[in-house]
Amino acid sequence: MLEVRELRKSFGSFEAVKGVSFTVNKGEVLGFLGPNGAGKTTTMRMITGFLPPSAGTAIVNGHDITTHPVQAKGQIGYLPENAPSYDSMTVTDFLGFTAEVRGFRGSERRDRVEAAIKQCRLEGVRRQAIDTLSKGYRQRTCFAQAILHDPPILIMDEPTDGLDPNQKFVVREMIRKMAAQKIIVISTHILEEVDSVCTRAIIIANGTIVANGTPQELRSKSPTGRLDDVFRRLTIGGEEARND
């Protein structure tokens, strides 16, 4: 289980995340939705230990990310927004390097790399340098490094942002195939992602959670039954939302 407890993050006098709490269980795909600047990425970075919280914590399969960060991070596969990679490496070399960093050696290292390449459909580009790949293949390469160690928890920040429809289809299909065996959290502002892969969604605005439920439960909050209408009304606020 992933349990987020009253996470807060301040940058000087600005409080970006204001006491966010939620839980996610195995088999769930949680969509973490919000407009740009809502606090999505900051929350993801605190959960994964990339950014220390100002207050609160996340419990990752029983490990507190603030007091036992090494154990907690070992439970997580993380695909950050604009995922970094070594452009001069081939896909195979990059994944091999990642496997070594994770502590895999010999035949286990090779098996992990081969499994990730197959799962992410990278066979056709495995010997190409990463800087020669399309954005879709680069994203799938970074996806492969996130699942290389078969983590029970997978956290992805904007995994399909900027991809074309075919590339989005492939990435979402990979997520669906893994969903039953993992805890998956997807941070996104793309509402179609919720309908495509998510079993539950949280909407965050101005650093606080404003809705939490299944896609159908969220739609029931609007007379139109449209998720985009619910999202707009909860995240814009004020006169503009009331007069829409």
Mean of all residue pLDDT scores within the chain:
92
Of the candidates 30, 34, 39, the one whose C-alpha atom is nearest the C-alpha of residue 2 is 30
The pLDDT score that the predictor gives to residue 237 is 58
Would residue 213 count as lying in a domain? yes
Q: Look at residues 120, 150, 180 and tell me which one is the last residue of a structural domain.
A: 150
Check whether residue 218 and residue 241 sit in a common domain: yes
CA distances from 45 to 9, 65, 97, 228 (A): 10, 11, 23, 26
Q: What is the pTM of this model?
A: 0.90
The pLDDT score that the predictor gives to residue 191 is 86
Q: What domain count does the chain have?
A: 2
Q: Look at residues 99, 122, 150 and tell me which one is the last residue of a structural domain.
A: 150
Check whether residue 117 and residue 193 sit in a common domain: no
Would residue 219 count as lying in a domain? yes
Would residue 118 count as lying in a domain? yes
Q: Look at residues 108, 135, 150 and tell me which one is the last residue of a structural domain.
A: 150
Check whether residue 122 and residue 169 sit in a common domain: no
Lowest mean pLDDT among 90-94, 114-118, 158-162: 158-162
Confidence of residue 192 (pLDDT cuts 50, 70, 90): confident
The pLDDT score that the predictor gives to residue 83 is 74
With 0-12 / 13-18 / 19 or more C-beta atoms within 10 angstroms meaning exposed / middle / buried, residue 131 is exposed
Q: What is the mean pLDDT of residues 166-186?
A: 92
Q: What percent of the chain has pLDDT over 70?
A: 97
Does 240 or 10 have the greater pLDDT score? 10
Check whether residue 162 and residue 241 sit in a common domain: yes
243 has a pLDDT exceeding 90? no
Check whether residue 69 and residue 167 sit in a common domain: yes
Would residue 8 count as lying in a domain? yes
Confidence of residue 239 (pLDDT cuts 50, 70, 90): very low
What is the C-alpha to C-alpha distance for residues 117 and 123, in angstroms, rounded to an integer?
A: 6
Would residue 169 count as lying in a domain? yes
The pLDDT score that the predictor gives to residue 244 is 41
Would residue 208 count as lying in a domain? yes
242 has a pLDDT exceeding 60? no
Residue burial 182-220, b: 16+ Cβ < 10 Å; e: rest: bbbbbbbbbbebbebbbebbbbbbbbebbbeeebeebbe
Whichever domain contains 67, its CATH number is 3.40.50.300
Check whether residue 160 and residue 234 sit in a common domain: yes
Of the candidates 223, 219, 217, 159, the one whose C-alpha atom is nearest the C-alpha of residue 193 is 159
Confidence of residue 238 (pLDDT cuts 50, 70, 90): very low
The pLDDT score that the predictor gives to residue 84 is 75
155 has a pLDDT exceeding 80? yes
52 has a pLDDT exceeding 90? yes
Would residue 80 count as lying in a domain? no
174 has a pLDDT exceeding 50? yes
Check whether residue 158 and residue 193 sit in a common domain: yes
Helices (H) and strands (E) in the chain, counts: 10, 10
Check whether residue 66 and residue 162 sit in a common domain: yes
Does 243 or 174 have the greater pLDDT score? 174
Check whether residue 165 and residue 145 sit in a common domain: no
Would residue 44 count as lying in a domain? no
Domain that holds residue 67: 1-20+29-39+51-75+152-223+230-244
